[in-house]
Amino acid sequence: MTELEEKIAHLTRTVDDLSDVVARQDREIANLAARLQMMIEREAARTPEDDGGVFLGDERPPHY
């Protein structure tokens, strides 16, 4: 009986620890999703002002 109680206590602790991890990951995912949405909106607002060209980070400017 004591052995079963110890196993239950260990499993309960493990479940609680995993629940904390999942809750932390949920908050982090929500934060990242909000930041991504903000970046998407910022980029969408910026796009109409551009000349329609596609900027590639490794591309040389035309004056080179």
Tokens 């930041």 correspond to what residue? 35
Q: Is the pTM of this model over 0.75?
A: no
The token pair that represents 7 in the structure block: 């196993």
4-60, pLDDT tens digit by residue? 999 999 999 999 999 999 999 999 999 999 999 999 999 888 855 555 566 666 666
What is the C-alpha to C-alpha distance for residues 41 and 46, in angstroms, rounded to an integer?
A: 9
Q: Burial-class residue 32 by CB neighbours within 10 Å (0-12, 13-18, 19+).
A: exposed
Nearest partner of 45 among 37, 53, 56, judged by Cα = 37
Residue 62: strand, helix, or coil: coil
